[in-house]
Structure 1
Amino acid sequence: MSTVEAWGAAGQKYEIHEETLEYFRILEGRNDRPLIELTPPEAREAGLTIAKLFGGDVEFDGQIKEFNVPSPAGEGSIPVSVYRTTKCPPTAPVVVYFHGGGFVVGSRATVDSMCRSIARDTPCTVVSVEYRLAPENKLPASLDDAVCATRWVKMNKALIGASNTSAMGTAGDSVGGHIATTVCHEVPGMDFQVLVYPMVDLENIYPSVEEFATSPGVNKKILEWLENLALTSPAQLADPRVSPMLRKQFSGLPPALILLAELDPLRDSGYAYRDRMSEAGVQTKLVLIKGAPHAFIRMPGHFKQLCASSYASISEFIRKYGSNDMKAPAED
């Protein structure tokens, strides 16, 4: 079966980018075990291997400092990595970044190339957060860590090299987008949010979930596998902290960039979340990356064209809303 045929009807409906086709050709040649057949530790190691294989080398003239944030659980700490280039002024915006991985896999290491690129090209201070993962720490542990880390950053901007007057926002990909918007709901004073194909509806009720139910990469079975590991019980699906789409109050949220991948089961829930924010008067901008699959954003070493355009949109948005005196509305 060719790579296009593996996408089924979606392969005929959409123009799949060559970088996407080549990515899955490479994965097929590796003949790795399916994610859902792995234990969570094995899945994390596999994800790190892929991140190193496709992340590429990003030139970065600056420092990456490590800090430990006191944990809300009262045990240990939350490690964070702070990215700042030598040319980043103290007044540049601060971005608190949350990696993707369905609450189960992923780490700061899997988004290292992306954090370097955004910190360098914006420029801004990027704080990448190592929140607790399931199933060892089921929901809402990751959300509690994220809120705690963001509050710490907000109180310690000068410590990490920024200014007390620096604008501050959140960002994240996939479930990291879920975490980024959850923080904006729960921590007042955020100036912007960047949501990259966010996982905002864990009930998976939107059409794109079925459209890409059996597609290569992230599909319906993988989403269900991750959620079963992350949830304490199915009853949590009714909790607005677990499914941000169920939040009743959207007014007052900061401006949002929603960047979606066209070939992604989470695509339509991203559209719906944009609509909820827009209806509440939140300034929103939506960017659809055509021909791109879920998870591409973390692999700029392979998805050179798709990541370049995506990173440019992200940096432009952060510069616009990371300026303390810039209050113009975003485009729909």
Structure 2
Amino acid sequence: MTHLDPAYERALAAFPDHPEWHELGVERARELEAELFSRSTDGDVVTTERTVDRPGGEGAVPVRVYRPPGLDEPAPALVFAHGGGFVLGTLDSADDLARRLAANTGSVVVSVDYRLAPEHPCPAGMDDVTAVIEWTVESADALGVDAAQVGVAGSSAGANLATMAARRVDVPLSVAVLFYPMLDPTLGTPSHEEHADAPLLTRADLDWFWRLYRDDGAIPVDDPLLSPLPDVGGEPSSLADSPSTVVVTAGCDPLRDDGARYADALAAARVAVDHRHYPGAPHGFLSLADAVPAAADAWDDLAAAVLARR
């Protein structure tokens, strides 16, 4: 088993003690997530709040658009879906990740406040991310972005939504950037067992998140809307149409094998893929860049990988 880097241990020790997510219940877990990952206002990235209409008159999706200063127009863009197990997360709690993603990759980032389970199980969140991808392409001129360089990005469960939404749009996407993606509802890989009690995210948390996203278990684990993994429910033939992809995985993360298997599947389908693995890092480690130099270095690696894939 890979052991946690001491630098990450020290950073995580600064977090207040709290029960695991699944022990809190939905309401308290959302409150705690907001407390732990409050919005950052650091940096020069300019933000604007927008809304995107859902098809069929089903209301609007709030989005926050991030633009680094001095970015030439038209600029590359990334539609970003936050993490939180499909159950937690807001634009504010994902603000730091979205800002860093914009600044480090020289992109306009469109962060999506998609609908959450259990109130809105699969495929509601995926539908929202799909609508925002299409809106970003259609609104490219107004946003100052290049419609031919619109990609997707996501963290954890958001990486799942970004990946699945990318398969549903009719426009070609330039790149997919996936941070420690949450892709396997069966929880059947070695990393789910090896790191069942990992910091920030446990196997029991994942079981709870997936059950809520699956409409309290009513949606079977092999439903093709849940995962792109060919051996879970995804269609292998559809992988060949995936955009060039960057996958980030952490060694001390129950989701380690989710991302590794997806990277391998993409490579087998002859999709350009760059798998960046960080052995001593925990789930969510990119959010610790202010405290851990290795996480800041990983952002530099990530930026280089994204630029190379465009």
**TM-score between both structures, scaled by the size of structure 2:** 0.92
Are 1:307 and 2:295 an aligned pair? yes
Are 1:45 and 2:34 an aligned pair? no
Match of 2:14 among 20, 26, 40: 26
Are 1:251 and 2:240 an aligned pair? yes
Distance 1:239 1:64, change over 3 A: same
Pairs within 5 Å for 1:73-222? 74-165=57-148, 167-187=149-169, 188-222=171-205
1:273: Cα distance to partner? 0.9
| SS of equivalent to 1:276 | helix
Separation of aligned partners in 2, 1:139 and 1:236: 11
1:241: Cα distance to partner? 1.3
1:109: Cα distance to partner? 1.3
Q: Where does residue 328 of structure 1 map in the other structure?
A: none
Which protein has the larger Cα radius of gyration, Structure 1 or Structure 2? 1
Q: Where does residue 241 of structure 1 map in the other structure?
A: 225
Separation of aligned partners in 2, 1:163 and 1:149: 15
Q: Where does residue 63 of structure 1 map in the other structure?
A: 46
Match of 1:317 among 290, 296, 305: 305
Separation of aligned partners in 1, 2:82 and 2:69: 24
| RMSD of aligned Cα (Å) | 1.8
Distance 1:301 1:66, change over 3 A: same
| SS of equivalent to 1:247 | coil
Are 1:264 and 2:253 an aligned pair? yes
1:231-282 alpha-carbon deviations (Å, 9 max, x no partner) = 1234431111112212222112111111001101111121111111111110
Q: Which amino acid aligns with 1:142?
A: G
Separation of aligned partners in 1, 2:258 and 2:101: 25
1:73: Cα distance to partner? 6.0
1:65: Cα distance to partner? 0.8
1:174-214 alpha-carbon deviations (Å, 9 max, x no partner) = 01111111122112301110111101111111110011112
- Greater shift, 75-84 or 16-25, is seen at 16-25
Q: Is the 8 A contact 2:62 2:113 kept in 1?
A: yes
| SS of equivalent to 1:186 | coil
Q: Is the 8 A contact 2:289 2:296 kept in 1?
A: yes
Q: Is the 8 A contact 1:174 1:199 kept in 2?
A: yes
**TM-score between both structures, scaled by the size of structure 1:** 0.86
Separation of aligned partners in 1, 2:271 and 2:4: 32
Separation of aligned partners in 2, 1:273 and 1:162: 29
Q: Alignment length, in residue pairs?
A: 303
| SS of equivalent to 2:145 | coil
Unaligned runs of 5+ in 2: none
1:31: Cα distance to partner? 2.9
Q: Where does residue 264 of structure 2 map in the other structure?
A: 275
| SS of equivalent to 1:127 | strand
1:128: Cα distance to partner? 0.4
